[in-house]
Amino acid sequence: MGWKLQLPKFLFGGVVTVAVTIAGFGFVTFSQNIDAMREASQENISWSAAQLEKELMRFRDSLRASDAGLTTSSADINQRFDVLWSRIAIFQRGKVGDRLREYDLEINTIGRLFEEMKAMESLVVSISSYDFATMSKIHQAFYPFSGELSELSRRVTVGEEQKAAVFRAHMREAANFALYASISTVLLVMMAMGYFVLDGQRFRKLAEQNMVLAERFKQASLVKSRFLTMMSHELRTPMNGVLGLLAVARQSNMTPSQRKILTQVDRSSNRMLGMLTDILDFAALDNAQFGLDNKPFFSQDLISALPDLLGPVADQAKAKFKVEVVGEVPTRLCGDATRLRRSYALLVTYFLETAGAREIELRISYEDNHLIGRIVVDYLDGGWSPDLISGEREESADSFASEVLGPAVARALVDKMSGEIRHGKTEDGKIVLTIDVPVQAQKERNLKVLLKMQSAPMEMVFKSAVSDFHIDYLSQNDSSCAEIVMMESGMANEEERVSNARKNCPEALVFGIGRSYLPALYDFVAEIPLEVDSLKNKISEVLG
Amino acid sequence: MTRVLKTAAAVCFVLATAMPQLVMAQETMLKLVNTLTGEETALSEADVLALPQAAINTENEFVDAMTSFEGPLGREVLALLGEGGSTVVLTAVNDYAVEVPVADFANYDVVFALSADGERFSRRDKGPIWVVYPMSDHQELQDPVYNSRLIWQLVKVELK
C-alpha cells in the first residue's frame, strides 16, 4: 500500500528529472553548437591562406616589374618581402595558425617557403633598384611556391567546407534530437498529467467518502455527547435530591454509627455529583456551540471565591490549601472568569482527591497580560501523573479513567481560552503546575453616576455593593453628563420618574435598584443585595 | 687648422650617425584623412607615442595566450580627425582595408597597438600598428565580424 501512495511522488520526481535532464542536455548541446559555429567560421582561415598566396604573387610581381616595362625600387621589394614574411608569421601563432598548419602537415609548403625566404633575405635586403639579375634569381627561387600555395588555399577552402558540412550535419542531428526529446517530454508530461488527473479524481472520491464518514462520525459523536449531557443533567437532579434528603437526615437524631455512615454516603454522593458535572463539561466542550463568555470581572471576586470553593475539598482530603496573590493583579480583568475558576478548581481537586497531595498553594499573579495560576504542591505520599495533565494518557478509550476527567476538562478549558498548562519544579523540589491564560486588564476610569435613591439605607447598601468601582456621584446640576442613572425602583410614580430621568440625561442608561413592577422601563434592574454580582457585571460592561 | 678640421669631421660624423634616426622618427607612421573636410594629417612615430598610451590584456585568434597590447586608444586617434562621420576605413600597408563603425571606438577600448608584452611590432610581424579589440572582456566581440577588424600593418585611417 505504501508504494502506491509514494508512486505519484516518484512519478512527479521522475518526470521533473527527465524534463530537466533533457532541457539541460539541450542547453549544453546548443551552447556547444554555438561555440563550434563560432570556431568553424572559415573566414579567417581561408582568408589567411589566400592572403599568403596573394602576397607571394605581389612580391614576385615587384621583382618582375621591369619585365612589364615598369620601374621598381628596392624599398618596394623589401616592403613586399616584409608583408610576405608577416603572412608566414600568421601560420606560426594562435588558433588560426594551428588550424592552418593542419592543412600543411604533409607537404610543409609553408615551412619550405619560410626557409627559402630566410635564405634569400640577405639578397633582398641588399638588392639595388636596377639589379635585375638578382631580382630574376629571387623570382625564380620563389616561383614553385605559387602553385603550392594555390593548392594549399584550395585544400584549406575544401577542408573548411567539409568541416562546415560535418558541423551542419551535427547541428541537424542535434536539432532532430531536440525535437524528438521535446516531443517525448511533452508526451511524458501529458501522461503524467493524465495520471495525476486520474489520481486526483480517485483522491477526491476518497476525500468525499471520508467526509461522509466524518460527518456520520460527527453526528454519532454529537448524539453520544447529547446523550451524555442529557443523562448527566438528568442524573444530577435526583442526586441533588439525594443530597438534600441526606442533609435533612443529618439534622435528625442519629447514633454516631449512623451519622458516620450518612457522612460517608454524603461524601460519595458529592463525589458522584462532581463527576457528573465534569462529564457535562466534557460533553459540552465537544459541542460546536461551546463558546467563551469573555467579559469584565473583578480579579478579587475570582480570587476570593477559590478558598470558599476548594477549602471544603481540602478539609475533606485532610490537606492544607491556601490562595496567595503574588505581586499586583489589576482590579478589573476581561475574560471568562467562570472557566478560569473552574480550571483552577479542577486541577486543585485533582491534586487533592486523586494525586493525594497534603499541602497545596495556589499563587495568582499577573504578568505581561497573562493571568498566571501556579499550583505549588508539596507531596508527602501518593503520586501525580504529569502525562495525565498534558493529556498523553487518554489516547485511547481503553485508558480513559475517571481520574483523567477533571484534568482533561481543565486542559480543554485552558486551551479554549488560548492558554497553556506547564509543569515543573520549584527550587526546593515542589511540584509546580502553571496555568497560563491571556487575560486583558481593563483600564480603570471613573464612572459618572447620578444616584436617585428614595431612602438613605438603600443608598448606603448600593454604595457598599459597588465600592470596588471608581464612581463619581454627580449632583442634580451636572446630571446631563451622567453615564448611568441609578434609581430606586418599585416606588410611586415610577413611570413618570423614569421618563423624567431619561429626559434630563438623554445619553445615560437608567438602572433600577430593587424590585420593580415595571422592569421594561429600565435598561437594567437588579435587586440588591441579592443580585450584587449581576449589577457589578453590568457596570463592568458599561465601563468596557 | 688641424683642430678646425678635426672639429668639422666630428660634427659630420655625429650628423651622419644621427640623421637616420631623425629621419626615421619623422617618417610618417599613420596617415589620417577626414573625407568630410578633406583634411589630412600625417603622424610620425613620435606623434603616435605622444598620444595618451593605454594597455589591454586580451586573447584573440592570432596569439597563443593572454597578451598585453600597448598603444593609444582608437578614440584618441580618431579625435585628431575631428567630429562627424560614422565609419572609419582602416588600410594596411598592402592596401587591404576594412570598414569599422566609429561607435566601436566609443563602445570599446580598441587599441592601436604598437607593441605586445612590451615588444614593438616589426613590419615583418604586425607592425607598425595592429588594431586590437578587448575580446576577452567582451564576449560579443568573439565573433568573425570583429576578427576581420583586427587589421595589422595599419598605415591609414579615413573618416567617412
Is B152 in Cβ contact with A86 (below 8 Å)? Answer: yes
To the nearest whole number, what is the mean pLDDT of chain A?
Answer: 83
Measured distance CA(A235)–CA(A279) in Å, rounded: 11
Q: What is the largest CA-CA distance in chain B?
A: 73
- CB distance B98 to B90 below 8 Å: yes
Q: Same domain for A461 and A372?
A: no
CATH number at B28-159:
3.90.420.10
Label residue A23 exposed, middle or buried (CB < 10 Å: 0-12, 13-18, 19+).
middle
**Number of Cβ atoms within 10 Å of the Cβ of A451:** 19
Contact status of B153 with chain A (Cβ, < 8 Å) = yes
- From B61, B94, B123, residue closest to A95, measured CB to CB: B61
Q: Same domain for A535 and A425?
A: no
CATH of the domain at A480: 3.40.50.2300
- From A38, A83, A97, residue closest to B93, measured CB to CB: A83
Chain B residue with CA closest to A54: the answer is B94
Q: Which of A390, A425, A441 is the last residue of a domain?
A: A441
Distance from CA of A61 to the nearest CA of B (A): 13
- From A41, A43, A89, residue closest to B124, measured CB to CB: A89
- CB distance B65 to B130 below 8 Å: no
Q: Same domain for A334 and A360?
A: yes
Q: Same domain for A92 and A171?
A: yes
Is residue A386 situated within a structural domain? Answer: yes
Is residue A535 situated within a structural domain? Answer: yes
Chain A residue with CA closest to B154: the answer is A83
Q: Which of A194, A227, A255 is the last residue of a domain?
A: A194
Is B96 in Cβ contact with A43 (below 8 Å)? Answer: no
Q: What is the mean pLDDT of residues B28-50?
A: 94
Q: Same domain for A430 and A471?
A: no
* Of the candidates A269, A250, A375, the residue with the CA atom closest to the CA atom of residue A314: A375
Is A97 in Cβ contact with B153 (below 8 Å)? Answer: no
Q: What is the mean pLDDT of each run of 10 residues along chain A (544 residues)?
A: 66 78 78 68 76 91 76 85 92 88 91 94 90 90 92 90 84 83 84 86 91 89 77 78 82 84 81 76 69 83 88 86 92 87 89 83 93 85 67 54 77 90 84 91 83 84 83 78 86 85 87 86 84 83 78
Residue B106 has pLDDT above 90, yes or no: yes
Instruction: Say whether B55 sits in a helix, a strand or coil.
Output: strand
Distance from CA of A42 to the nearest CA of B (A): 9
- CB distance A321 to A311 below 8 Å: yes
Chain A residue with CA closest to B148: the answer is A44
Q: How confident is the model at residue B25 (pLDDT cuts 50, 70, 90)?
A: very low
| Beta-carbon pairs below 8 A across chains A and B | 48
Is residue A219 situated within a structural domain? Answer: no
Instruction: Say whether B130 sits in a helix, a strand or coil.
Output: strand
Q: Per-residue b/e over A103-134, b at no fewer than 16 CB within 10 Å?
A: bbeeeebbeebbeebeebeeebeebeeeebeb
- From A43, A79, A90, residue closest to B144, measured CB to CB: A43
Is B153 in Cβ contact with A86 (below 8 Å)? Answer: yes
Measured distance CA(B43)–CA(A71) in Å, rounded: 28
Is residue A498 situated within a structural domain? Answer: yes
Is B147 in Cβ contact with A44 (below 8 Å)? Answer: yes
Supply angle C-alpha A218, A220, A223, rounded to 5. Answer: 110
| Complex ipTM value | 0.78
Return the C-alpha torsion angle A153, A159, A160, A164, nearest 10: 160
* Of the candidates A159, A143, A156, the residue with the CA atom closest to the CA atom of residue A49: A156
Distance from CA of B37 to the nearest CA of A (A): 31
Is residue A229 situated within a structural domain? Answer: no
- Which domain, by its residues, includes A30? 2-194
Q: Same domain for A358 and A502?
A: no
Q: Same domain for A420 and A456?
A: no
Distance from CA of A93 to the nearest CA of B (A): 6
Q: Same domain for A37 and A13?
A: yes
Contact status of B144 with chain A (Cβ, < 8 Å) = yes
Q: Same domain for A35 and A97?
A: yes
The partner residues of A488 in beta bridges, in order of sequence, read A513
Contact status of B142 with chain A (Cβ, < 8 Å) = yes
Q: What is the pLDDT of residue A30?
A: 73
Chain A residue with CA closest to B63: the answer is A94
Q: Which of A194, A221, A248 is the last residue of a domain?
A: A194
Q: What is the pLDDT of residue A2?
A: 59
> Which residue do the cell numbers 439525594 mark?
A242
Q: Same domain for A431 and A500?
A: no
Q: What is the mean pLDDT of residues B135-139?
A: 93
Is residue A453 situated within a structural domain? Answer: yes
Measured distance CA(A482)–CA(A450) in Å, rounded: 6
Is residue A207 situated within a structural domain? Answer: no
| Tally of domains within chain A | 3
Is residue A246 situated within a structural domain? Answer: no
Q: What is the pLDDT of residue B133?
A: 97
Interface residue ranges in chain A relative to chain B, Cβ cutoff 8 Å: 38, 41, 43-44, 47, 51, 55, 58, 79, 82-83, 85-86, 89-90, 93-97
- CB distance A204 to A198 below 8 Å: no
Q: Same domain for A140 and A186?
A: yes
Is B62 in Cβ contact with A97 (below 8 Å)? Answer: yes
Chain B residue with CA closest to A95: the answer is B61
* Of the candidates A272, A276, A289, the residue with the CA atom closest to the CA atom of residue A230: A276
Distance from CA of B93 to the nearest CA of A (A): 8
Chain A residues with CB inside 8 Å of B119's CB? Answer: none
Is B148 in Cβ contact with A43 (below 8 Å)? Answer: yes
Q: Same domain for A16 and A32?
A: yes
Is A94 in Cβ contact with B124 (below 8 Å)? Answer: no
Is B123 in Cβ contact with A83 (below 8 Å)? Answer: yes
Chain B residues with CB inside 8 Å of A43's CB? Answer: 144, 147-148
